[in-house]
Structure 1
Amino acid sequence: MSEQDPVAGFAVAVVREEGKWRCTAMAGDALRELDAAITELRKIRSTGAAFGLLDVDDQFFLVVRPGPGGVQLFVSDAAAALDYDVAADALDLLRVDPPADDDDDEVWPEGALDILADIGLPAPELQVIAGEVDLYPDEQLQIIAQRCGFADEFNQLLDSLDSIAQ
């Protein structure tokens, strides 16, 4: 996959400010380049939670949460690093070795399981959601949105993205 090829999926910036959730679409390069996602999220000025949810090519998802002390990351499938630069960059930032080529049939999450614990998604629940291999990443992200309380805003944005794509 070359740097210029578009990657299917979606990237959503999620912000909670003054008790209200807001979901906005992020630029498509956020699905290709982790730095692009981090840079875009850092531009959001918010006193509340601000993070990104990325569904990359219907293969895996990323949660990206920049903060004053650095960037917290969660990758639903570390083996995706074998095929996707954004996943490889995430593992690099997490200082985790990419899996061996023969491990690509095994799915395991990597990163901060407690990345959304402060907004209603405890680490054990995120681990269970990521482990649901029968679900597509968009379905897993919808469960996360539901548990954290922004499902309506999230689904509304996805619906609008779907109607634009058609």
Structure 2
Amino acid sequence: MPEEEAVPGFAIACVREDGKWRCTALNSSILSELDAAITELRKVRSTGAVIGLLGVDDQFFLLLRPSPRGISLLLSDAAAALDYDIAADALDLLRVEPPSEDDEEVWPEGALDILADIGLPAAELQVIVGEVDLFPDEQLQMVAQRCGFADEFNMLLDSIPQ
């Protein structure tokens, strides 16, 4: 099997335990395949919330949240499925058809309420996703700010080569 070309970006797992957030960098090789990202997130042991924040190639982001019931996810731009395997995998998992090649609009797919229980209601996440002039890392910084782990997230993001 030929080695896949690395997808630029970052993957961070954020864990909340005992009221404190901890952020950990994940291997960026998981940015090419959703199953790999889910597997790595499930390896993060926690009694509290575990959230994966993936910024892919300065184009879009994914929020992933594993639970005993399965995986919740949000893809910030459904059109990314036309160019990125991980985004196509996300739409497959959501059972959503990818947009057509000539669709210019950006819209999210998945659970906009994915972080509602930790301080980011669906309506506010919709606004963040709608900020199409921002890069994914900037959008995810806004997410981190609203959920209460901005300092940990930003410090780790600054240390990751991109």
Q: Which amino acid aligns with 1:88?
A: A
8 Å CA contact 1:52–1:63 kept in 2: the answer is yes
Q: 1:64 to 1:130 in 2, by over 3 A?
A: same
Could you tell me which residue of structure 1 aligns to residue 27 of structure 2?
27
Tell me, in whole angstroms, the C-alpha distance in 2 between the residues paired with 1:30 and 1:125.
27
Could you tell me which residue of structure 2 aligns to residue 149 of structure 1?
148
Q: Aligned residue pairs: how many?
A: 161
- In the TM superposition, residue 160 of structure 1 has moved relative to its aligned partner by 1.4
| Gap runs ≥5 in structure 1 | none
8 Å CA contact 1:3–1:32 kept in 2: the answer is no
Tell me, in whole angstroms, the C-alpha distance in 2 between the residues paired with 1:73 and 1:122.
15
- In the TM superposition, residue 19 of structure 1 has moved relative to its aligned partner by 0.8
Could you tell me which residue of structure 2 aligns to residue 159 of structure 1?
158
Give 3-state SS (helix, strand or coil) of 1:102's partner. Answer: coil
Q: TM-score, normalization: structure 2?
A: 0.96
Aligned pair 1:81/2:81, yes or no? Answer: yes
Cα RMSD, aligned residues only = 1.1
- What percent of counterpart residues are identical? 75
- In the TM superposition, residue 45 of structure 1 has moved relative to its aligned partner by 1.3
- In the TM superposition, residue 68 of structure 1 has moved relative to its aligned partner by 0.6
Could you tell me which residue of structure 2 aligns to residue 110 of structure 1?
109
- 1:1-29 deviations in Å (ceiling 9; x for gaps): x8611111100001000111011111112
Give 3-state SS (helix, strand or coil) of 2:41's partner. Answer: helix
| Gap runs ≥5 in structure 2 | none
Tell me, in whole angstroms, the C-alpha distance in 2 between the residues paired with 1:109 and 1:3.
30
- In the TM superposition, residue 51 of structure 1 has moved relative to its aligned partner by 1.2
Consecutive aligned runs of 4 or more in structure 1 exceeding 4 Å deviation = none
Give 3-state SS (helix, strand or coil) of 1:115's partner. Answer: coil
Could you tell me which residue of structure 1 aligns to residue 138 of structure 2?
139
8 Å CA contact 1:130–1:140 kept in 2: the answer is yes
- In the TM superposition, residue 44 of structure 1 has moved relative to its aligned partner by 1.3
Tell me, in whole angstroms, the C-alpha distance in 1 between the residues paired with 2:33 and 2:16.
24
Tell me, in whole angstroms, the C-alpha distance in 1 between the residues paired with 2:137 and 2:47.
27
Q: TM-score, normalization: structure 1?
A: 0.94
